[in-house]
Structure formats: structure tokens, C-alpha cells
């Protein structure tokens, strides 16, 4: 018998093991729901599958009588738009400012302390300010996401740009590179994989800020809906929405990882074992 | 292709003297090998020649003019590690210098010019024996191949001076011999001036036309940083060199053991 640390599960066993916790949670839910509904058929806390299905059908596949919209998809689109704009602007800002201050000491001297200070401000504390300044529309929500996410990306990009070995910086200069050419051909390609990782890690906080902003002031969006139906204890709506948000986040995470592997194959092989000479 | 002169060059870091009072003149096309105990300032010397660090005092001249204060395409460099760009294939690594010089804004070439440049790069790769690896990324190459690539990349710019900072230090002995032969052959062909730092004395004697040994002449046990290294031996390499080598090996051994003793004393 090998030691435990040397035993690795086969593919089938690995899949089964990863499915196990999910199956357990779903099973636990179904049993608890059954028990509660047996005691009180009007219980709203743990709705059974047919009730969940009915709620999904009502929101996703039936037009809202008053507005004529399909609420579920309308909410999804609204939230995704806020998220994508927020994260996109943050990424662009992070890339430009982060690389500039990582590479150019004069920019770093000016930008680094203020970015550090801004990153310490709790974004939720400035949310009222954003609503006052930008009104209750889309801008305030996108700005909240940028405020929460961008400083981290800027700082990470700056660090990554500064981590480029000095040997490479000198080497580029001996090949005749100007500062701009160095940024374009050496720094940018090397920080791009890290930027994608950064975006992946920022998705969690970004969702948090979108939902929070929607909970406080919005007329549509996944977070808006959840907080709206909370008043009626409508768990049959809240639960599918939470699962949906999780699914969306997972899909984005996987898509970004795929993109990273696809576009920057060298970043992968850098960490792999080197072939024998 | 380029003569270098040092006039009373000093280098200190926060009161710690690393190099003191170096005066030297190197002829164009010379192959200088630099030896000395670890931490005696050989690499600092190389970095000053590169322009990556200014001398604290004194002057360095290249062809009679002050050395530019930052690295440029006149002087190529190969480090022990991190000498090639991990995100470019072998061919792209070699062609990068050409792209820098001919496209200031985008640092990329297109169409016919690109094909011509990459053809030149491919020839250069071939001359260092890397034709088969042209589309591989550095991480897929062995250590020796990466160093070949770094040399090819530098030589593409036709530098007047080539600086080598322990370029073969991390390589296996067999590959090392191949690499020495490669560098020697390329040097014979192009006659750039070479400065090569090495830990391996036999390498220093085998490759160089002139050997510079760095060591501290003055030594104060109470203040080990008060004095810096000087060039203690400046040997034109010929038959007499064999004798000098024996003397030098003894001196290096003594210097290393003294440094080791001092380190032990400092810890105690």
C-alpha cells in the first residue's frame, strides 16, 4: 500500500469525488424541504422542486403582464452590463496606470501613494456619495465597481511590471529599445496573462458591488430582484437567482482561463517542468 | 571594434568601497576574461561598462568619448539567467532588435521588410546551431540552448562590445565546452571587444587574450568594507601565462578562505 500522499484518484474517481459535495447539499436540501412541507404545506423557506420550477417558469419564460418583459433575462442583462462595464474599465485603467507606474519611476512617485490610499477607502462607504454625485442611474453603479476593483488591479499590474527581471530591462535597451518600445514589446505581453488572472480574482468583489448597488437603488437587475422579493420571503425566486449568479461567475472564470491559455501559451510552459537538455 | 579606457574609476555603495582606483586601457578586439573571488566587484565592473550603473568617481571612455550613461545597442550583454524574453519564440527573440531599430512607433515590422528581417534572424539562429528550435519558447529550451539564443540575440545588433556575465556558469561541463568554442568562433569572425566574467580559471585562460584578476589588496579586519578590489593581475595570455596561472590560483584560494573566515567571524 502506497502512502496516502502518493495516491492519486483516476479520472472517474476524481469526477465522482468532486460531484459528491454537490449531491450531498442538494440531497440535504430536498430532504429538509420535504420534512418542512410535510409539517406545513404553506412553508416558504425551503420550496420543493415544483415550486422552484414554477417560479423559474414565471420569471424566465413568461412575459411580465405589466411590462411585457421577461424579468429574469432582463435582470441578467442589466446586471451583466454593469459588471462588464465596471470590470472592463477597471482592467483598462489598471493596465494603463499600473504599467506606467511600474515602469516609469516618475509616474510611480506620483501615482503609487494616491492609489494605495484610494484602495484603502471602503467602497461601500462611498456608495452614498456616488449616488448623490452621479444620481441613481447606471453611472453610479459602474463607478462603484470601478472604485472597488480598479485599485487592486492597478497595484497588482504595477507590482508585476516591477517584477520583470532587471536583466530583461537592460537586455531590451542593449537591443536598442526606447522606453515606449520596451513597454510595448516587453512589459505589456508579460503582464497580460497576469491581468487576466487579476480580472478572474476581481469577479467576486465585482459581483458583490453590483448586487449591493442594485439592492439599494435600481429598477432592474439580479440583485434588485432578490432584494425585492425578500419582503415576501420568496425563496422560490431567491434560490434560483443565487444559483444563476454563481453559474454566470463560474462560466466567466472558465472563459477567462481558457482565453489565457489560448493567447499566452508561453505563460503556461514557464511553470512546467523543463525538458531535459 | 572598440577601445575602452578607464581613468581612476571608483565605485562605492553607501560608504562600502567595491572597486578602487581602476585605470586600464583595453584595445579594440581584445577578449578580456575577468576572474576573482565572489563579491569582489567583477559584475559591478561589467555593469559600469554597460552603463547600468555610473562610476562613483573617475571616467570610462569608449573610443575616446565618455561612455553613455544608459545601456544602448553598442554594447551587447549575456547574463547567466533571464537573458531572453520568455514570451517570444527563439526566432522572435533574435529578430526583436531589428524590429526595435526599424520601427520606432510599433516596434514591429510587416510585409516584405519583416520577411527580410526574419530571414536574417533565421540565419543567425542557424549560425549558433538553433535552426531546429526557431519556433520554440525559451522555457522549452535547455539552459545551453537558451544561452546560445541570448548570444545570437545580442550579436544581431552587431555590438562593438560584448559583455558576458558568467554566461556558462549554470551549464553542464560538456555543453560549456561547446559554448566556449562557439563564442570564440563568433569573436574571431566579428572581432568585437569582449569582457567575460567567469568563476572558472581554466575557462579564463583558454578563452581570453587578456586576463584581469580582481582582488582586495588592502585588508582591514576591523572594517572589511573600508577598501575595495583592484586589478591585481593583468595578464596578456601567452606561454608565460601558464606560470602566472599557478600563482593566481594560489592567490584566489587564499582570498576565498580569508573571505570564508571573515564570514564565520562575522556570524560569531
- pLDDT for B238 equals 64
A177 contact residues in B (CB cutoff 8 A): 100, 107
Helices within chain B (DSSP H only): 42-50, 90-102, 111-127, 143-155, 173-190, 201-207, 241-267
Q: Are the C-beta atoms of B7 and B61 separated by less than 8 Å?
A: yes
- Check CB contact under 8 Å for A171 and B86: no
This model's pTM is above 0.90: no
Ramachandran bin of B8, using left for φ above 0, alpha for ψ from -120 to 50, beta for the remaining angles: left
Asked if pLDDT for residue A60 goes beyond 70, the answer is: yes
Q: Are the C-beta atoms of B42 and B197 separated by less than 8 Å?
A: yes
Taking the C-alpha atoms of residue A95 and residue A192, their distance in angstroms, rounded to an integer, is 8
- pLDDT for B104 equals 85
Residue in the block written with cell 538553433: B130
Domain boundaries, chain B: 4-74+161-267, 85-158
Residue B128: how many other CB atoms lie within 10 Å: 23
Domain boundaries, chain A: 18-39+47-62, 71-263
Q: What are the pLDDT digits (tens) for B240-264?
A: 665 666 677 777 777 778 777 777 7
Residues of A with a Cβ under 8 Å from any B Cβ are 165, 167-168, 170-178, 180-181, 184-186, 189-190, 264-267, 269-270, 272, 274-277
- Check CB contact under 8 Å for B104 and A181: yes
Give the nearest chain A residue to B52 (CA atoms).
A170
- DSSP-derived secondary structure for B73-100: TTEEEE-SSS-S-TTS-HHHHHHHHHHH
Which residue of A174, A194, A268 is the best one to mutate when testing the B interface, meaning the one whose CB has the most B CBs within 10 A? A174
| C-alpha distance from residue A203 to each of A7, A28, A244, B162, B185 (Å) | 34, 29, 15, 48, 55
Cα B68 to its chain centre, rounded Å, is 17
- What spatial distance separates the first Cα and last Cα of chain B, rounded to whole Å? 50
The CA dihedral of B220, B225, B227, B228, to the nearest 10 degrees, is 140
Give the nearest chain B residue to A164 (CA atoms).
B82
| Beta-bridge mates of residue B230 | B215
Grouping H, G, I as helix, E, B as strand and the rest as coil, residue B9 is: strand
Give the nearest chain B residue to A189 (CA atoms).
B87
B71 contact residues in A (CB cutoff 8 A): 170, 173-174
Among A45, A65, A68, A73, smallest CA distance to A241 is for A73
Q: Which helix (H) or strand (E) holds B200?
A: none
- Check CB contact under 8 Å for A275 and B142: yes
- Check CB contact under 8 Å for B159 and A174: yes
Taking the C-alpha atoms of residue A182 and residue A193, their distance in angstroms, rounded to an integer, is 17
Q: Are the C-beta atoms of A158 and A98 separated by less than 8 Å?
A: yes
Lookup: cell for A38: 410535510
| C-alpha distance from residue A225 to each of A65, A67, A75, A215, B87 (Å) | 16, 15, 8, 8, 45
A275 contact residues in B (CB cutoff 8 A): 140, 142
CA angle, residues A274, A267, A272, in degrees to nearest 5: 25
Among B225, B215, B221, smallest CA distance to B15 is for B225
- pLDDT for A77 equals 94
CATH architecture of the region A71-263: Orthogonal Bundle (1.10)
B99 contact residues in A (CB cutoff 8 A): 185
Which residue of B79, B81, B86, B175 is the best one to mutate when testing the A interface, meaning the one whose CB has the most A CBs within 10 A? B86
Which residue of B83, B139, B173, B176 is the best one to mutate when testing the A interface, meaning the one whose CB has the most A CBs within 10 A? B139
- pLDDT for A272 equals 44
A193 pLDDT band (50/70/90 cuts)?
A: very high
| Beta-bridge mates of residue B35 | B213
| Beta-bridge mates of residue B162 | B76, B194
- Check CB contact under 8 Å for A265 and B137: yes
Q: What are the pLDDT digits (tens) for A203-216?
A: 999 999 999 999 98
Rounded to the nearest 10 degrees, what angle do helices A123-134 and A188-216 cross at? 70
Among B141, B7, B126, B25, smallest CA distance to B85 is for B141
Taking the C-alpha atoms of residue A95 and residue A195, their distance in angstroms, rounded to an integer, is 7
| C-alpha distance from residue A263 to each of A17, A277, B212 (Å) | 31, 27, 47
* Higher local confidence (pLDDT), B11 or A224: A224
- pLDDT for B242 equals 55
Q: Which of B70, B79, B81 sits opposite A173 (nearest CB)?
A: B70
Distance from the Cα of B229 to chain A's closest Cα (Å) equals 24
Give the nearest chain B residue to A175 (CA atoms).
B97
Phi, psi of B66 (to 5 degrees): -60, 140
Side-by-side strand order, sheet with B161-165: B65-66, B57-62, B4-13, B16-26, B229-236, B210-216, B31-36, B193-197, B161-165, B75-78
Distance from the Cα of A2 to chain B's closest Cα (Å) equals 33
| Beta-bridge mates of residue A129 | none
Which residue of A160, A166, A170 is the best one to mutate when testing the B interface, meaning the one whose CB has the most B CBs within 10 A? A170
pLDDT by position in tens, chain B (length 268)? 578 888 888 888 887 888 888 888 888 888 899 988 877 788 888 888 888 888 888 888 888 888 888 898 889 999 988 889 999 999 999 999 999 998 888 888 888 889 998 999 998 898 888 888 889 999 888 888 898 899 889 988 888 899 998 888 877 888 888 888 888 888 888 888 999 998 888 888 888 888 888 887 777 777 767 777 777 777 777 656 656 666 777 777 777 787 777 777 777 6
| C-alpha distance from residue A158 to each of A104, A109, A110, A152, A164 (Å) | 10, 12, 13, 10, 10
- Check CB contact under 8 Å for A272 and B107: no
Q: Are the C-beta atoms of A167 and B71 separated by less than 8 Å?
A: no
A179 contact residues in B (CB cutoff 8 A): none
Q: Are the C-beta atoms of B167 and B16 separated by less than 8 Å?
A: no
Asked if pLDDT for residue A25 goes beyond 90, the answer is: yes
Q: Kindly state the average pLDDT of the residues A2-10.
A: 91
Q: Which of B85, B106, B157 sits opposite A186 (nearest CB)?
A: B85
B85 contact residues in A (CB cutoff 8 A): 168, 171-172, 186
Q: Are the C-beta atoms of A214 and A79 separated by less than 8 Å?
A: yes
Chain A with chain B: Cβ pairs closer than 8 A: 97
CATH topology of domain B4-74+161-267: Rossmann fold (3.40.50)
Q: What are the pLDDT digits (tens) for A100-153?
A: 999 999 999 999 999 999 999 999 899 899 999 998 888 999 999 999 999 999
- Check CB contact under 8 Å for A181 and B87: no
- Check CB contact under 8 Å for A170 and B50: yes
- pLDDT for A271 equals 47
- pLDDT for B240 equals 60
Amino acid at each position: 500500500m502506497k502512502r496516502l500522499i502518493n495516491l492519486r484518484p483516476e479520472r472517474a474517481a476524481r469526477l465522482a469525488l468532486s460531484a459528491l459535495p454537490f449531491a450531498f447539499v442538494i440531497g440535504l436540501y430536498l430532504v429538509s424541504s420535504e420534512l418542512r412541507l410535510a409539517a406545513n404545506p404553506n412553508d416558504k423557506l425551503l420550496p420543493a422542486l415544483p415550486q422552484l420550477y414554477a417560479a423559474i417558469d414565471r420569471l424566465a419564460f413568461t412575459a411580465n403582464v405589466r411590462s411585457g418583459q421577461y424579468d429574469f433575462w432582463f435582470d441578467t442583462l442589466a446586471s451583466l452590463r454593469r459588471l462588464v462595464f465596471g470590470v472592463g474599465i477597471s482592467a483598462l485603467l489598471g493596465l494603463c496606470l499600473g504599467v506606467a507606474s511600474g515602469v516609469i519611476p516618475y509616474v510611480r512617485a506620483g501615482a503609487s501613494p494616491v492609489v494605495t490610499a484610494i484602495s484603502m477607502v471602503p467602497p461601500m462607504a462611498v456608495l452614498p456619495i456616488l449616488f448623490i454625485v452621479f444620481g441613481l442611474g447606471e453611472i453610479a453603479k459602474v463607478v462603484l465597481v470601478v472604485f472597488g476593483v480598479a485599485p487592486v488591479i492597478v497595484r497588482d499590474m504595477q507590482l508585476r511590471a516591477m517584477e520583470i527581471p532587471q536583466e530583461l530591462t537592460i537586455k531590451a535597451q542593449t537591443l536598442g529599445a526606447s522606453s515606449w518600445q520596451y513597454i510595448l514589446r516587453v512589459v505589456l505581453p508579460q503582464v497580460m496573462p497576469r491581468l487576466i488572472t487579476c480580472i478572474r480574482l476581481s469577479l467576486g468583489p465585482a459581483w458583490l458591488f453590483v448586487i449591493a448597488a442594485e439592492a439599494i437603488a435600481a429598477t432592474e437587475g439580479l440583485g434588485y430582484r432578490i432584494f425585492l422579493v425578500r419582503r415576501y420571503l420568496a425563496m422560490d425566486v431567491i434560490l434560483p437567482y443565487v444559483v444563476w449568479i454563481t453559474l454566470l461567475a463560474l462560466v466567466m472564470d472558465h472563459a477567462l482561463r481558457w482565453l489565457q491559455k489560448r493567447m499566452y501559451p508561453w505563460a503556461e510552459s514557464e511553470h512546467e517542468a523543463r525538458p531535459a537538455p | 571594434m572598440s577601445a575602452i579606457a578607464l581613468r581612476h574609476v571608483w565605485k562605492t555603495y553607501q560608504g562600502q568601497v567595491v572597486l578602487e582606483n581602476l585605470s586600464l586601457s583595453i584595445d579594440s578586439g581584445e577578449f578580456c576574461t575577468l576572474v576573482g573571488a565572489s563579491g569582489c566587484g567583477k559584475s559591478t565592473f561589467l555593469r559600469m561598462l554597460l552603463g547600468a550603473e555610473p562610476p562613483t568617481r573617475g571616467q570610462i571612455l569608449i573610443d575616446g568619448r565618455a561612455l553613455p550613461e544608459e545601456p544602448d545597442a553598442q554594447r551587447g550583454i549575456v547574463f547567466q539567467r533571464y537573458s531572453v524574453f520568455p514570451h517570444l519564440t527563439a526566432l522572435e527573440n533574435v529578430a526583436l532588435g531589428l524590429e526595435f531599430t526599424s520601427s520606432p512607433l510599433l516596434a514591429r515590422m510587416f510585409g516584405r521588410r519583416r520577411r527580410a528581417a526574419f530571414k536574417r534572424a533565421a540565419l543567425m539562429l542557424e549560425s549558433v546551431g538553433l535552426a531546429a528550435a526557431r519556433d520554440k519558447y525559451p522555457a522549452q529550451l535547455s539552459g545551453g540552448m537558451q544561452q546560445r539564443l541570448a548570444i545570437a540575440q545580442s550579436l544581431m545588433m552587431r555590438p562593438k562590445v560584448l559583455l558576458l556575465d558568467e554566461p556558462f556558469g549554470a551549464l553542464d561541463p560538456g555543453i560549456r565546452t561547446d559554448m566556449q568554442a562557439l563564442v570564440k568562433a563568433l569573436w574571431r569572425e566579428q572581432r568585437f571587444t569582449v569582457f567575460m566574467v567567469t568563476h572558472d580559471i581554466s575557462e579564463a585562460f583558454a578563452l581570453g587574450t587578456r586576463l584581469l584578476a580582481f582582488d582586495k589588496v588592502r585588508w582591514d579586519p576591523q572594517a572589511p568594507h573600508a577598501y575595495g578590489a583592484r586589478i591585481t593581475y593583468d595578464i596578456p595570455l601567452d606561454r608565460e601565462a601558464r606560470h602566472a596561472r599557478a600563482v593566481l590560483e594560489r592567490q584566489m584560494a587564499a582570498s576565498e578562505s580569508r573571505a570564508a573566515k571573515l564570514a564565520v567571524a562575522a556570524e560569531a
